[in-house]
Amino acid sequence: MTMTVEVGATTPRDSAVVGVPVFATGAVPRQVGLSRARLADLGLEAKPGQLLLLPAASGPTVIAVGLGPREHVSSRSLRDAAAGLARAAGGRTSVATALADVDVPGLSREAVAQAVAEGFGLGTYQFTEFKSAPTPSRLERVVLTASSEGRAAVERGARRGQAIAEAVSLARDLANTPPADLNAIDLAERAMVIAAEHKLDIEVLDELAMAELGLGGMLGVNRGSVAPPRLIKLTYAPRKPAATVALVGKGVMYDSGGISLKPSDGMHALMKMDMTGAAVVLATLSLLPVLKPNVKVIGFLCCTDNMPSGSAMKLGDVLRIRNGKTVEVHNTDAEGRLVLADGLSLAVEDGADAVVDIATLTGAVLGALGKKVAGVMGNDQSWVDQVRAAADRTGERVWQLPLVEDYRKLLDSNVADLKNVGGPYGGAIIAALFLREFVGDVPWAHLDIAGVMDSDADDGIFSKGATAFGVRLLADLLTHYEPVQAGSGVEAAVGP
């Protein structure tokens, strides 16, 4: 069901639900109809995300939406509040709220409205394609009420927020889809449709074209699969771009581990989501014609299965990556870095001024940072700082891990230029050191999203299942891009 977001001067008479923002201090809005003391008796202290339904004998149901202290309200808390309101009103068809018209220190009206619209779109997301009796949200219409002086800004923010939520939902749909229903060819076909809809240039390389280009990482990982690989290249090009940024997404459509077979556990069942990086890059590119950043963006989706069979890549095999470096395979379950190596090599060849790769790459990052924070690493601190700033603005949290030079020797091979693994510890850092071998001096940042790729329950803007972490971050990064000079290196001290 498609949900529309509108902006109006007043609450429509036919609204089924009215969401009223309530700060932790100050006057309680008249629409609530209760004093602060009475709200407290009913359990509403107006903490961030708290909701209280106040059914009426006639007219719309009023939902008081807690926002906490005004000075602590952020885009993230507004996004989560709107998502909570959307879920609470999910059984009704229409909601009106003044959430987008609140006055918050440090946030423009446009930014507030964008966060609220994103929250509504993401809070109502459900993946129901394979449910025989789905119960999706019935919410069809959201009206954001706004004063006349701020209405134009609220309208701009709402349009932007709704477009972002739709792009995130696209990536979630792809990552949630079972592997039997979405292989590399299927994703390439979806990408061609999306490119046509959004006027993006697209090029799809099959296995023969990959062989001609020498994409040994992609072809090596694909050896055990009956489904052929695809390298999907998408391009967004404004008339006079200030720079070229490349996005490289890991698209392992299903990761069995190959010969280094994964154990049959809950994490193995989630390996349909090992293509989340590619889904995020595709969704981000689809959004750019709306956001109109003044940078050329090239997206590389490196798509293949990783399967065991008689023809599968073996331990001890040596692969030659596009940039000429050779890799000895010591673990076929460390396959993501092999496909990314080809994608990063192509990004550098295409003259990118800066590169970001995004990948569900290592279980080690999950062990280090858990399920709420992604790891970020890179070879250029100024570029990594831009990624961290985008993460702060969007609430997609990252933590910078160091590229410890002492660990690089763990990747040395006796028979090739390097191995694809380097010992049992520091796996997220060692994987990033491996990827660094394929970007040269081009400013590069690596996002390891293995820990944040899925949510165990409905939580704020996240619905149970795939999160599509990174779409909002990358879109913001490209919108706020600042020129990067190669060679700045990275700081020894790292943190948020």
Q: Is 337 a catalytic residue?
A: yes
Q: How far apart are CA 362 and CA 430, in angstroms?
A: 10
Give the Cα-Cα-Cα angle 434, 268, 337 (nearest 5 degrees).
15
The arithmetic mean of pLDDT across residues 187-212, rounded, is 98
- What Rg, from alpha-carbon coordinates, does the chain have? 23
Structural fold of domain 177-479 = Aminopeptidase (3.40.630)
Domain ranges for the chain, please list them: 4-169, 177-479
- Per-residue pLDDT of 357-391, as tens digits, reads 999 999 999 999 999 999 999 999 999 999 999 99
Please confirm, yes or no, whether 296 is among the known catalytic residues. Answer: no
The confidence score (pLDDT) of residue 488 equals: 66
With tokens 């950043």, the residue in question is 293
Q: Is the dihedral of CA 470, 472, 478, 482 positive or negative?
A: negative
Average pLDDT, integer, range 47-55: 92
Q: What is the pLDDT of residues 263-275, one digit of tens each?
A: 988 888 899 999 9
- Check 36, 70, 156, 262 and give the catalytic one: 262
Task: Quote the DSSP letter at residue 323.
Answer: T
Q: What are the residue ranges of helices labelled H in 199-309?
A: 207-213, 216-222, 266-269, 276-291
The active-site residue out of 250, 337, 393, 472 is 337
- Provide the pLDDT for residue 117: 97
- What is the predicted pLDDT for the residue at 1? 52
Q: Using the structure block, give the residue that is written with the tokens 């004063």.
A: 147
- Are 377 and 467 in contact by the 8 Å Cβ rule? The answer is no
- Does domain 4-169 match CATH 3.40.50.880? no
* Dist. CA 336–CA 318, nearest whole Å: 16
Which has the closest alpha carbon to 304: 226, 192, 357, 363? 226
Question: With contact defined as beta carbons under 8 Å apart, do 313 and 334 qualify?
Answer: no
What is the C-alpha separation between 330 and 420, in angstroms, rounded? 6
Contact assessment for residue 339 and residue 216, using Cβ atoms and an 8 Å cutoff: no
pTM score, whole prediction:
0.96
Q: What is the pLDDT of the chain when averaged over all its residues?
A: 95
